[in-house]
Structure 1
Amino acid sequence: MLWLGAMAAKANGEACGLCGGRTYLIERRGELATARVCTCSVDCPMCGGRGHRLVQKEGTFSAKVGPRTYEVLEPCVCTLRRTRVALYNDVQMPGVMAHASFDNYRPFNEAQDRGRGVAMHFANQYVKGATNKGFVLSGPVGTGKTHLIAATLGHLVLEMGVKTRYVEISLLYATIRRGFQDGKSGGEIIGPLSEVEVLAIDELGKGRGSPFEMETLDELIARRYNAGRTTLFATNYSLEPERKGARSSAPSGYRTTDDARSAMKDAELLRERVGERIYSRLCEMCTFVELPRDTPDRRRTRQEMDAPPPMGGMRNPGR
Structure 2
Amino acid sequence: MGTKASGEVCGECGGRTYLIERRGDRAHARVCTCSARCGLCEGRGYAYETREETFSAKVGPKRYEVLVPCVCQHRARRIDHFNTVGLPSVAAHASFENYRAFNEAQDRARNGAMHFAHHYAKGGVNKGFILSGPVGTGKTHLLAATLKHLVLEVGLEARYVEISLLYATIRRGFQEGKSGGEIIGPLSDVEVLAIDEMGKGRGSQFEMETLDELIARRYNAGRTTLFATNYSLEPERKSVRTAAPSGYRTTEDAKTAARDVELLRERVGERIYSRLCEMCSFVELPKETPDQRRMRQELDVRPGPPPGGMRGPGR
RMSD, aligned α-carbons: 2.0
- For residue 24 of structure 1, what is the aligned residue in structure 2? 18
Structure 1 residues not aligned, in runs of 5+: 1-6, 247-263, 315-319
CA contact (8 A) 2:2 2:10 kept: no
Equivalent pair of 1:9/1:21 in contact (CA under 8 Å): yes
Structure 1 residue aligned with 2:276, among 272, 278, 282?
A: 282
Q: Post-superposition shift, 1:11?
A: 8.4
SS at the partner of 1:100? Answer: coil
Aligned length: 291
Matched, 1:272 2:246: no
Q: TM-score, normalised by structure 1?
A: 0.87
Given that residues 202 and 235 in structure 1 are in contact (C-alpha distance below 8 angstroms), is that contact kept between their aligned partners in structure 2? yes
2:111 corresponds in structure 1 to 117
Q: Structure 1: how far apart are the matches of 2:80 and 2:261?
A: 40
Q: 1:67 aligned to 50, 61, 81, which one? A: 61
Match of 2:39 in 1: 45
Larger displacement relative to structure 2 (56-65 or 270-279): 56-65
Aligned to 2:252: none
Distance 1:11 1:239, change over 3 A: farther
Q: Mapping of 1:119-198 within 5 angstroms? A: 119-198=113-192
Select between 232-241 and 129-138 the one with higher mean Cα deviation: 129-138
Aligned with residue 217 of structure 1, among 211, 215, 222:
211
Q: Secondary structure at the match of 1:179?
A: helix
1:245 Cα deviation from its structure 2 partner: 4.4
**How many Å separate the matches in 2 of 1:11 and 1:220?**
49
Show structure 1 runs of 4+ deviating over 4 A: 264-267, 310-314
Cα distance, 1:80–1:310 mapped onto 2, change above 3 Å: closer
**Which residue of 2 is the match for residue 258 of structure 1?**
none
* Counterpart residue number, 1:100: 94
C-alpha displacement of 1:310: 7.8
Q: Which residue in the other structure is 1:261 paired with?
A: none
How far did residue 62 of structure 1 move?
Answer: 2.0
Q: Deviations over 1:138-177 (max 9, x none)?
A: 0000000000000000000000110000000000000001
Question: Partners in 1 of 2:144 and 2:89 — Cα distance?
Answer: 10
Separation in 2 of the partners of 1:13 and 1:57? 28
Q: Does 1:241 align with 2:235?
A: yes
1:267/1:170 Cα in 2 relative to 1: closer, same or farther (>3 Å)? farther
Distance 1:188-1:15 versus aligned 2 partners, 3 A rule: same
Which residue of 2 is the match for residue 302 of structure 1?
A: 296
- More divergent stretch after superposition (113-122 vs 299-308): 299-308
Contact 1:11 1:45 in 2 (8 A): no
The Cα of 1:204 is off from its aligned counterpart by 0.1
Aligned-residue identity in percent: 75
Partner Cα separation in structure 1 for residue 6 and residue 53 of structure 2: 31
Name the aligned partner's letter for residue 15 of structure 1. Answer: V
Q: Is the 8 A contact 1:202 1:233 kept in 2?
A: yes
| Equivalent in 191, 201, 208 of residue 207 of structure 1 | 201
How many Å apart are 1:20 and its aligned residue? 1.1
Q: Which residue of 2 aligns with 1:232?
A: 226
Q: CA shift at 1:311, angstroms? A: 10
Alpha-carbon distance in structure 2 between the residues aligned to 1:238 and 1:165:
24
User: Could you tell me how far apart the structure 1 residues matched to 2:136 and 2:98 are?
Assistant: 15
Task: Measure the CA separation in 2 of the matches of 1:19 and 1:217.
Answer: 38
What residue number does 2:245 align with? none
- What amino acid sits opposite 2:78 in the alignment? R
Letter in 2 for 1:234: A
Shift, 1:224, TM fit: 0.1
How big is each residue's C-alpha offset from its partner over 1:249-283, in whole Å with a ceiling of 9 and x where there is no partner? Answer: xxxxxxxxxxxxxxx99961000000001000000
For residues 51-90 of structure 1, the aligned pairs below 5 Å read 51-90=45-84
Alpha-carbon distance in structure 2 between the residues aligned to 1:139 and 1:12: 47
Structure 1 residue 244 displacement after superposition: 2.3
CA distance in structure 1 between the aligned counterparts of 2:188 and 2:226, rounded to whole angstroms: 13
Match of 2:246 in 1: none
Distance 2:50 2:113 in 1: 38
2:29 aligned partner, one-letter code: A
Amino acid at match of 1:24: Y
